[in-house]
Structure 1
């Protein structure tokens, strides 16, 4: 995980300088006090928080551009950013790549392809397999390339003013009134030509996903499809585990955002299967519950907490050789109120009650300050999450028809709706979630949104396997022995954790704008 900030502005004097900041070193960049400079200064700490191990500021008077990058070190060897490649390109990369030919650092992998000049920049980007956002500046052609992967698993926003030849690109922007930022659409390679002061947004990494209308009326291929999905998910989890090798934390745990429900329990089971026989043996389950003054419930009464405890016991029984820790993260109402302005700022431009209730749940869950049950005394002891890579079950509902509103749709209508859901997940969920989760200096990974899993699930799975996640429930029961977990109904995080409708003004709707 890294943070990206690029500022091109011929009306501003960027000095030729390269300043590096070590871990925990204060970030200070001089500048004027106009609106853009104030925004840059206020955004730097947000970018730095995403990559707490290293940061750098690179300014160029010749190109009227500055780059600020931060790095969370997860790939050996450690590679500083931004990276100047072959004296021609300036590269910023945020994410993880899983291409088979990558041996070491994925940022260096991109840099090597640029240096070899074996393909155009759009072709290089189209080859990348993973969860990423990027900026690349070609100083020779004076073109800026930026964007997100085909699903949009990393946040990225931009502002362009062609009349002033201004371009700003950032992982997170915060609330800003004077600069109209837009979230990058997943899979588009944006190209800003500084010679002609023109933004081209017509280049796509790949075609949009289309859900197959195929129906297997008698479920004759049910067993075969379960086997294929299990293979694809297992491979997606394996790739996301094997690419974790931070040299500053030995054998660090893997953390999972955990409600106790079907999707995240499947991910935990797949992780535990992968960890058998390996040095890394600890899995942290991050479960959040809120004190809700409207309902009078305390965090331990939240539905997700009760379910998480039961599912945790099942997983412990299935994997006795894995040190599974359930971290119970209790959020008092006063702490919710203190964090609320920060979360609203981070998730911008999302501004609805529902966005806040989801974002703040992920914010506290990923922060990981809670308690675990002491194995010897059976009492609760304070515990801080140690894992810096978090896994999520996001994407299962979109791929396998998990939302309640899908239940009674005809197959043609369900095909249309699922196609829309998977192609819109970058805007509906991922941009917002990445901004708040990464602010805690961690990286989130999504096995269900692996490119091969999505391709198989959209193109090959019959549509009638996607009623109430039938295929995933079958997999959980038959391949992972998850028992009653495989039948758990869908419950949105804001209702399971009780982060929705926190005040006695209970007539607010999720779609209402924040006031």
Structure 2
């Protein structure tokens, strides 16, 4: 796990920007605190910050050149099957000087070029410079676990793992107002776009070539989802469960390869418990780590985590947090964010990563299971909406009542009314628009209403619709849960969940590995019919049934708790002054020239009312954006 950056200059003007390479590399220090290295040629330079995981000796340092000196690689990630690939290279007469996966990857690329990507099992973003051709090859892993951003103008092409590194080159910082509009709807900006119009994200499962100023982008992987030919092997349900256990066990075993201390996150939910159970088969006294919430007993799942740890004899550590502990880390997180990203669950992930890093350098995680196997409440809601029935119709017909009643996430009754209202509104829409509404924190109209007239005029609505249709391309109008999951993989998983874990773990120099996102597991999951994943009684059905006899019985089909960061409490207490007198203060808003203060004022009034609904999420998005604006603009 590391941070990478580089530049390919097209002329002498672009070459002048190479003076920023050292600064851009240093900006990635938290991603790689163990070593910094750079390599330069006349028109090219690459930089690397290393977090040593495999072959921790100096032999594994980067940038790394092949023995001829023609090719040079910078690589962020891990190739789990590198030992097998290395043996194949040795059998072909290739001499490997180190025991690192980096050298295997470099030599595999030299021999097979982009075809090497099909052989890799891992997560990665890497760049290889060809000195003879003066060209760059850049690739990103299948699921988008590792990030890669890039910028191009008439003088140069640059890339980096994080925006703060790109900004070190002094690039143009022009807000993409269509991306801002999307951010206000989702709390994140969907790839390939970023907050800056000049910066793009390389999409998951894609590679990029640049030579003679020409950039070409190609896709090498997409989820093999064929709606009308599911379960091609004709496995019955018991056979599906057996196959799933085999695939997940293989995936976990691959991800235990490490030359540094390794552990696993263990929340007490089904996903992390499955990973812990499987990892314990292959490693005695596995280190496991949980977060407990002293002030929020409803969300505290440590008793389930403790039960799993006891059953599998792990060396278990619980970090018991108060709301004050969460609050105390808030400003460190805001400072680290180099692009607006407002998923508030990043706060506990940051703390978990920070505490885990004191014991381990690598942690396994259960991320991805919800999107792959149907684990969110919205999936249950989508299932009920698609199936219809008396209860669903009754909730839909009572929409005027739900609109009239107070709604809030801060109490059980208000939260239930809020959920009924969202469900009833969604029932009136087709499956595409329902998905869009349930994925968003604000409607198109609500997001637009807080932007001032000048910014609204700069939003390219045709471009926005193209982006929207691209996101929703997985729906074909037949109302399938697998369409919802496929779209979640493209939108929510990559842009929210994986971004959150990468940012918060890397802020603490911790590598997080995600066994559920091994492409063999994902490929298999998208051959399964929806009734293997969800029914009227159960989400993640096959995952729960497959491991029912392996995990403690109390974990089976229990409600998903998740965790709500107490934003509403903070906004009304500790953060009230920040809202009223700083980031959302009227003069600052007007001087900034982005938002319409009348719309902001309405949100603030709702926030401090007895009927806040979901407004706290929108306020958090504004706080994150304003903090980012002050830091970077």
TM superposition score category, shorter chain reference = 0.7 to 0.9
CA distance in 2, matches of 1:416, 1:208: 12
2:473 paired residue number? none
> Which of these residues, 200, 215, 224, is aligned with residue 216 of structure 2?
200
1:314 matched to 2:421? The reply is no
What secondary structure sits across from 1:169 in the alignment? strand
2:85 paired residue number? 101
Change (3 A) 1:452 1:102: farther
Do the aligned partners of 2:50 and 2:61 also contact (CA within 8 Å) in 1? yes
Task: Structure 1 unaligned segments of length 5 or more: list them.
Answer: 17-30, 32-36, 247-251, 290-298, 370-383
More helix by share: 2
Deviation at 1:266, TM superposition (A): 1.1
1:55 paired residue number? 36
More strand by share: 1
Deviation at 1:97, TM superposition (A): 1.0
Structure 1, residues 264-284: CA drift from partner, whole Å, max 9, x if none? Answer: 1111111112224xxxx2312
Change (3 A) 1:331 1:91: farther
1:84 matched to 2:75? The reply is no
CA distance in 2, matches of 1:183, 1:346: 19
CA distance in 2, matches of 1:345, 1:88: 40
1:148 matched to 2:127? The reply is no
Structure 1, residues 228-254: CA drift from partner, whole Å, max 9, x if none? Answer: 10111111111111x1123xxxxx3x3
> Which of these residues, 129, 139, 142, is aligned with residue 121 of structure 2?
129
Change (3 A) 1:347 1:433: farther
Deviation at 1:330, TM superposition (A): 2.1
CA distance in 2, matches of 1:313, 1:336: 22
CA distance in 1, matches of 2:553, 2:35: 44
1:364 matched to 2:351? The reply is yes
Task: Structure 2 unaligned segments of length 5 or more: list them.
Answer: 88-98, 174-195, 387-477, 573-606, 624-633
> Which of these residues, 432, 441, 454, is aligned with residue 509 of structure 2?
441
Greater Cα radius of gyration, structure 1 or 2: 2
> Which of these residues, 422, 426, 429, is aligned with residue 489 of structure 2?
422
What secondary structure sits across from 1:144 in the alignment? strand
1:392 matched to 2:374? The reply is no
Do the aligned partners of 1:50 and 1:72 also contact (CA within 8 Å) in 2? yes
Do the aligned partners of 2:140 and 2:204 also contact (CA within 8 Å) in 1? yes
- Match runs of 1:107-506 below 5 Å: 107-114=102-109, 117-119=110-112, 121-161=113-153, 163-164=154-155, 166-174=156-164, 178-179=172-173, 180=196, 181-193=199-211, 195=212, 197-201=213-217, 203-210=218-225, 212=227, 221-241=236-256, 243-246=257-260, 252=261, 254-276=262-284, 281-287=285-291, 289=293, 299-304=294-299, 306-308=300-302, 310-319=303-312, 322-330=313-321, 333=324, 336=326, 339-352=329-342, 355=343, 357-368=344-355, 385-407=358-380, 408-409=382-383, 410=386, 412-424=479-491, 425-459=493-527, 461-467=528-534, 468-478=539-549, 480-493=550-563, 495=564, 498=566, 502-504=570-572, 505=607
Do the aligned partners of 1:400 and 1:466 also contact (CA within 8 Å) in 2? yes
What secondary structure sits across from 1:487 in the alignment? coil
CA distance in 2, matches of 1:483, 1:344: 40
Change (3 A) 1:367 1:475: same
CA distance in 1, matches of 2:484, 2:516: 18
Change (3 A) 1:313 1:492: closer
Change (3 A) 1:417 1:491: same
Change (3 A) 1:136 1:215: closer
CA distance in 1, matches of 2:338, 2:526: 30
Deviation at 1:184, TM superposition (A): 1.9
Count of residue pairs brought into register by the alignment:
436
1:377 paired residue number? none
CA distance in 1, matches of 2:289, 2:215: 43
CA distance in 1, matches of 2:139, 2:320: 34
2:6 paired residue number? 6
CA distance in 2, matches of 1:285, 1:211: 38
Cα root mean square deviation, aligned: 2.9
Deviation at 1:350, TM superposition (A): 3.7
